[in-house]
Amino acid sequence: MDRMRDDLIVEAAAVVTVDPEWKVFAPGFVAVKDGRISALGPAAEGERREAVQRVRAPRAFAMPGFVNAHTHISMAAFRGACEDMPDRLTRFIFPMERDLVDRDLTYWSALHSLVEMARSGTTTFADMYYFEDEVARATDLSGLKAILGETILGHAAPDAPEGYGGIEYARRFIKDWKGHPRIQPCFAPHAPYTVDAEHLGIIAREAESLDVDVMMHVAEMDAEQETFAPLGGSVLRYLDSIPGFLSPRLLAVHMLFVDDEDIGLAKARGLRVAHCPASNAKSGRLICPAWRFAGAGVPLGLGTDGPLSGNGMDMEGVLNVYPKMQKVRERNRGIVAARDAVRAATLGGAEALGLGAETGSLEPGKKADFILVDLDDFNIQPVYDWHSTIVYAMRPHNVLSVYVDGRPVVKDRRMTGFDQDEAAAQMLRISGNCADYIARIS
């Protein structure tokens, strides 16, 4: 009999599935067995099932957890520093990282961001930074899922004094963390303008032999475009001249300077794209033709980018910017319907991370990665269309509970895996240490 019993049944005012038919059950239930969704459907069906534990949430709705397809969570210690400065990356961010980033800052900043991400409904994310093993340690504690890339630079990095030392660091990181049930380590060459073609080729071959992904900023910066477009017609076509680099292993982040030929090339090479509309807009950059990538069948996810460039680590802040910016870009209000935006922030992100078969939507057999969202708040009522509510009305504070593999990682807005108050206190200590340095260079 116990084999028939679910481990958990959650009953909610609605279950928004993001499945191929866009099914919504209102009211509905989600049943969990061994970390996976064993069934879901109308509430009456859930009543007839037996479960070890039953959570009744009549004033909340369930939806897939958000997937943040690009960030640098350990930059939380620098959030809000050196805003509005010209040449911010090279004049301020690189020196700040060189002088301030160590294991302590990386770990506690990651933990701080993980609280923010989880409490706003993110269950899976992709990150790239230095000391990525510290990010992995923090992620492991939080209960979230992640693809984590060790950053590789052609010049000295906080965790590698020699240029390209990140490759050896990444090898060790991958060896130590490969096979973890929720964390996939990978290579993260920073960008085409900080990693040369020879080393991108080496990284592509290593990724192939170790069977891991590669994530990289692509076609983001003006100077990058000026340097590489003359070589092959575009940054992406330059990268295509490096044997094996453009492959289904690559998660290409940003993709701002791209034309129709590049969109076709991305599709042909099996690339995946992470689109960061809020951080790109803040920097006054181009708008990625994200809707065109999705239309061409390229897996498309949304990312916050790091706390320095994207500030908020919540997906709600990106989710409503995505359709608005695409409508502005194309001067067409008929594109990126609310449900398409919800898909990009959940299943699209999972597909962009290569996890689409396991997470991103609520369907039987998939991992039970879902969130419960409060319906009793002024910003979220009234509800006429669930997808529209999620994109344009929902805010981070509406998220009540977060489940990963059917286990609560956030319960009543508190982390279950570690003491979130300690994470807040450690951030005060670390940002206090950073304050003099930041004031001096600002």
Residue in this structure with the two tokens 């803040």, named with its chain if needed: 282
Compare residues 70 and 237 and give the one whose CB is closer to Zn ion.
70
CB 399 within 8 A of CB 371: yes
> CB 309 → Zn ion: shortest distance, Å?
7
Give the angle 174-179-184 at the CA atoms, nearest 5°.
Answer: 55
From 326, 294, 343, 298, select the one nearest 67 (Cα to Cα).
343
Beta carbons within 8 Å of 421's beta carbon, 6+ residues apart? none
Burial 309-323 (b: 16+ CB within 10 A, else e): bbbbbbbbbbbbbbb
Written as one string, the DSSP assignment of 150-183 is: EEE-SS-BTTBSSTTHHHHHHHHHHHHHTT-SSE
> CB 364 → Zn ion: shortest distance, Å?
35
Token couple for 117: 């991400």
> CB 68 → Zn ion: shortest distance, Å?
12
Q: From its phi and psi, is residue 233 left (phi > 0), alpha (psi between -120 and 50) or beta? A: left
Task: Please give the residues from 170 up to 229 whose contact with Zn ion meets the rule CB under 5 A.
Answer: none
**Over the Cα atoms of the chain, what is R_g?**
21
Task: Please give the residues from 123 up to 152 whose contact with Zn ion meets the rule CB under 5 A.
Answer: none
Compare residues 46 and 192 and give the one whose CB is closer to Zn ion.
192
Compare residues 144 and 191 and give the one whose CB is closer to Zn ion.
191
Which CB contacts under 8 angstroms, 24+ apart, belong to 423-426? 423/108, 423/111, 423/112, 423/114, 423/115, 424/112, 424/115, 426/108, 426/111, 426/112
Compare residues 33 and 190 and give the one whose CB is closer to Zn ion.
190
Compare residues 160 and 253 and give the one whose CB is closer to Zn ion.
253
Compare residues 213 and 305 and give the one whose CB is closer to Zn ion.
305
> CB 254 → Zn ion: shortest distance, Å?
7
> CB 128 → Zn ion: shortest distance, Å?
7
Task: Please give the residues from 240 up to 269 whose contact with Zn ion meets the rule CB under 5 A.
Answer: none
Compare residues 159 and 305 and give the one whose CB is closer to Zn ion.
305
> CB 273 → Zn ion: shortest distance, Å?
13
Closest CB to Zn ion: residue number: 305
Provide the mask over 342-381, with x wherever binding to Zn ion is found by CB under 5 A and - wherever it is not.
Answer: ----------------------------------------
Provide the mask over 279-308, with x wherever binding to Zn ion is found by CB under 5 A and - wherever it is not.
Answer: --------------------------x---
> CB 217 → Zn ion: shortest distance, Å?
5
Compare residues 75 and 409 and give the one whose CB is closer to Zn ion.
75
Provide the mask over 73-112, with x wherever binding to Zn ion is found by CB under 5 A and - wherever it is not.
Answer: ----------------------------------------
Compare residues 236 and 276 and give the one whose CB is closer to Zn ion.
276
CA torsion 190→192→193→199, rounded to 10°? 80
- Rounded distance between C-alpha atoms, residue 301 and residue 64, angstroms: 14
DSSP strand pairing (145-152 vs 183-189): parallel
> CB 144 → Zn ion: shortest distance, Å?
19
> CB 191 → Zn ion: shortest distance, Å?
9
- Rounded distance between C-alpha atoms, residue 152 and residue 159, angstroms: 10
- Rounded distance between C-alpha atoms, residue 273 and residue 275, angstroms: 6
Strand partners, 33: 36
Burial 196-211 (b: 16+ CB within 10 A, else e): ebebbebbbebbeebe
> CB 75 → Zn ion: shortest distance, Å?
9
> CB 288 → Zn ion: shortest distance, Å?
13
Q: How many residues bind Zn ion (CB under 5 A)?
A: 1
Compare residues 146 and 394 and give the one whose CB is closer to Zn ion.
146
Compare residues 17 and 194 and give the one whose CB is closer to Zn ion.
194
DSSP 245: T
Q: Which residues bind Zn ion (CB under 5 A)?
A: 305
